[in-house]
Amino acid sequence: MYDPVIKACSHVLIHTPSFVRYGSKPSREIDDSTTPVLPAIETHLRSFEEAVEYPPNQVFIGNLHPDRLNGIEQPWYRHPVEDASRYGAYGEIMPEEEFLGLMKLADDFDLMWIEKESAPMIKKSLQAHPFWNNSDLGKIDAAVEMARIHDKIENQGSLPLYCHGRIVGCMHRHHEKDDALKAQVLMENLMAKASGALALTHLLKKSDIRADEIDLLLNCSEEAVGDRYNRGGGGLAKAIGEMCGCVSATGCDIKAFCVGPIYALVHAAGLVKSGLFNKVVVVGGGSMAKLGMKFKGHLAKGMPILEDVLGGLAFLVTGDDGESPSIRMDSIGKHDIGSGSSQQNIMESLVLKPLDRMGKKITDVDRYAVELQNPEVTVPAGSGNVPLTNYRMIGALAVLRREMNREGIDRFVLEHGMPGFSPTQGHIPAAVPFLGHAIDAIKRGEMNNAMFVARGSLFLGRMTQLSDGLSFLIEKNPGRKAPN
Amino acid sequence: MFKGKKIIVFGDRDGVPGPAIAACMKAAGAEVVLTVTECFV
């Protein structure tokens, strides 16, 4: 059997400014600061139109190629894309009011109440969406009086849900003494489910297969669905699949910090290649905890809070179709436990070893997709330009191997790398936001291959000092006929 | 250079990770009492 292919992908963003207050960093600062933090956050939030026109967001959904950012003066938030569309080749940017409706559709346990006067606005917004205009939105109709919402918030641990500056509902806890089922955790999990479902819906609409043809779902979201006896136990893959009508699929969740999507894609490719499964979806919803993570740096620089979007991704991995780019099964680069933790050790494991195995030079790879965090988010907060650092390291390795001169590093970065364009959503920037662009460019004959390199911070869980990483290469499909 | 010194190592995943700094410190004669790596993205 030939190597599996990535047949389709979707990349979505959801603009959730009212949830920035519930991000991990903002919520702690709001609770702990002696000066009022929330008013400062609220005055630095972007409108939906501003989020749509933001050049990196247009790259994310496929309306601009990442290289176009090199030609747009920074700060990019001051140079909006003219005639920007919320819909793109790979997905869309969804506004908050629609997403609240989608969250309610994802809610199987009445965890979320919508306030009666806000319900028509939320329902109407979602009805205007091409994917849900004929759907049963009865769940949204079951709205409640504001007095009951206030009672839940004041007396029973529920958290208010806001939209356009007013309370439009609330999120409940589901157990008084289970931290895994408190309101903030359930809100985070429900948002991951709903945004993952949005990404999967786009994937199914884009590819020419039915939902019931999918036989396995692998969720790589950054959440920890579970209860007090099994925090992070999982189940989001099937929850997302159920919402999208994947009735013939089973599924499970793959956890590996930010490198989760790459592990999930490698698992998917291996399972398809082995013949155990035929059509595997890798899906990841957004991370509420990461909203506003760098907001203090943005406030200090007087810029808008750019971490106001959730990200979602979905990929379809199948057997060879003779046209979609193949995942080379001999290209998997892994960071072994004994590899060592220096940047050079890591990049040697993830980039050089697989290239040597394939008989390729560093410069034989047309594009490297590394951690693609938008530098406009990270640099003002003192976290540096992560993609640029990674590209320089790969370029330096090429110099060490005498594939090019030291003076060629900047050109290497420009030609084989790209500016970061992804929101800091943990798993989302992990190389894979370039997959849509790569698949299309390879199909158009503009590129032959691309390598995807992601890193995971295992040490954050305090069980090991190890970090992690995984990589793979996709290349032009040779167009062979499938063997009988 | 660091002989007899107790060292706390604070590394960055996308810069120099903690264990790499700790290895250098130990080679320079330091006693590493804590090594932590953080991820800033």
Contact (CB, 8 A) for A288 and A191: yes
Those residues of chain B whose CB sits closer than 8 Å to some CB in chain A are 13-20, 35-41
Backbone angles phi, psi at A219, to 5 degrees: -90, 130
B contact test, residue of A257, A287, A342 with most B CBs within 10 A: A342
Reference A414, options A385, A384, A391; nearest CA is: A391
Domain limits, CATH 3.40.47, in chain A:
326-475
pLDDT of residue A208: 83
- Please name the member of A341, A343, A383 whose beta carbon is closest to the beta carbon of B41: A383
Instruction: Say whether B14 and A424 touch across the interface (CB within 8 A).
Output: no
Quick one: pLDDT band at residue A343, thresholds 50, 70, 90? confident
Which of B15, B16, B37 is opposite residue A465, by nearest beta carbon?
Answer: B37
User: pTM of this prediction?
Assistant: 0.96
Q: What percent of chain A has pLDDT over 70?
A: 99
Q: Is pLDDT of A484 > 80?
A: no
In a domain, B1, yes or no: no
At residue A1, the pLDDT reads: 78
Which pLDDT value is given to residue A483? Answer: 58
Those residues with Cβ within 8 angstroms of residue A111's Cβ, 6 or more apart along the chain or in another chain: A171, A172, A174, A186, A190
Answer whether residue B25 is part of any domain. Answer: yes
> Is B32 a member of any domain?
yes
Number of domains in chain B: 1
Is residue B15 within a helix (H) or strand (E), and if so which, with residue range? none
pLDDT in tens, A425-450: 999 999 999 999 999 999 999 999 99
Confidence band of A213 (pLDDT split at 50, 70, 90): very high
Which tokens is A307 given? 């971490």
Interface A-B: count of C-beta contacts within 8 A:
51
CB atoms within 10 A of CB A161: 24
Q: Would you state the pLDDT for residue A75?
A: 97
Residue B10 resides in a domain: yes
Distance from CA of B5 to the nearest CA of A (A): 22
Do the chains contact at A457 and B36, CB–CB below 8 Å? no
CA dist., res. A89 & res. A61, Å (int): 6
pLDDT at A482: 60
Percent of chain A clearing pLDDT 90 (strictly above): 96
CA-wise closest residue to A431 among A474, A368, A388: A368
CA B24 to chain A, closest CA, distance in angstroms equals 11
The stretch A40-60 carries a mean pLDDT of 98
What's the pLDDT tens digit per position in A360-371?
Answer: 999 999 999 999
Q: Using 50, 70 and 90 to split pLDDT, how confident is the model at A134? A: confident
Find the mean pLDDT for residues A389-401: 96
CATH class of this structure's domain A326-475: alpha beta
Q: Which residue range forms the structural domain that includes residue B19?
A: 6-38
Q: What is the mean pLDDT of residues A453-482?
A: 92
Give the distance from residue B18's alpha carbon to the nearest chain A alpha carbon, in angstroms.
8
**Nearest-angstrom CA–CA distance, A173 and A183:** 4
Residue A344 pLDDT grade (very low, low, confident, very high; cuts 50, 70, 90): confident
> Is residue A452 predicted with pLDDT exceeding 90?
yes
Q: Helix %, strand %, coil % for chain B, to 5?
A: 25, 35, 40
**For residues A229 and A206, what is the distance between their CA atoms, to the nearest angstrom?**
39
